[in-house]
Amino acid sequence: MTPNAMPFTLDRTVLIAATPEIVFRFFTDSARWASWWGAGSTVDARPSGKVFMRHRDGTESGGAIVEVKAGARIVFTYGYASGKPIPMGSSRVTITLAPDKAGTRLRLHHELPDEAVRDEHVQGWRFQLSLFANVVTDEVNADADTTADTWFDTWADPDAARREATLRRIASESVRFQDRFSNLDGLSDLLPHIAAAQHFMPGIRLHRAGSTRHCQGMALCGWVMQGADGKEYGRGTNTFVFGPTGRIEWVTGFWSPPAAG
């Protein structure tokens, strides 16, 4: 059965917190392609160019590029080097990217010659596209530590104009901030709140404690609150939700329980 006559299809859609331009790089650059398939995987993103996947368990698969539309669509044939469950090039994968306010909506359409083989790939694509989305957002938010440091430093910056310029650089206009004492919407609400915090808690600073932990466009970041004398006044964790270009969209602060005794 040729790739033009395949009656069984598999469809999956995932939302990725990155722009289509960034997402598409992972279909045209072999190093990025290998980052979500496995070391040694390669892609030649032009019509008739080869795609090769060396999966983490050693399985090898691949095919050839049928169509490429920069930033929007890629089509390639797909099968396995061993010939099982289907030979190389005997199915067809179409991936389309559409802009979304949250980033990119990726749609996968996989056409296959056999129903049982189609069913075998359902969980495979569920896993692979989840891994893919995280690899992409790992790159978008590679500077999460620095962004978190800048966020914390801004709360202690005495210069109002500089605070605003910094926040506009690292956060969206509609950024949300919530903790025990805050439920804020947008920079217009956040900026006077920071000024008030400096007035009522002079000399207080937050510092990042350890590295951020990133997953799918969200990061967890521990912090320590200290006074000008170095005395510790509290600890906690912030969740940072990043937008498709790596700017902060939402922050929620959690205070750790006081130490016993």
**pLDDT tens string 73-125:** 999 999 999 999 999 999 999 999 999 999 999 999 999 999 999 999 999 99
- Torsion sign (Cα): 19, 21, 27, 30: negative
Task: Kindly list the structural domains of the chain, giving each domain's residue range(s) and its CATH number in brackets, ordered by start.
Answer: 8-140 (3.30.530.20), 144-255 (3.10.450.50)
Stretch 21-38: mean pLDDT: 97
Distance, in Å, from the CA atom of 27 to the CA atom of 185, rounded to the nearest integer, reads 37
**pLDDT > 70? residue 153:** yes
Strands (E), the chain: 8-16, 42-43, 50-54, 60-69, 73-80, 91-100, 103-112, 171-179, 182-185, 205-215, 218-226, 232-242, 248-255
- The stretch 227-249 carries a mean pLDDT of 95
Q: By percentage, how much of the chain surpasses pLDDT 90?
A: 94
Strands 171-179, 248-255: pairing is parallel
Q: What confidence score (pLDDT) does residue 260 get?
A: 57
235 φ/ψ angles, rounded to the nearest 5 degrees? -135, 160
Q: Which of 248, 223, 249 is nearest to 238 (CA)?
A: 223
Query: 21 Cβ partners below 8 Å, 6+ apart?
Result: 71
Q: What average pLDDT is seen over the chain?
A: 95
Among 216, 215, 168, which Cα is nearest to 188's? 168
Residues facing residue 225 across a β-bridge = 206, 234
% of the chain surpassing 70 pLDDT: 97
pLDDT number for residue 6: 87
- pLDDT score, position 3: 57
pLDDT of residue 1 exceeding 50, the answer is: no
Mean pLDDT of all residues in 46-69? 95
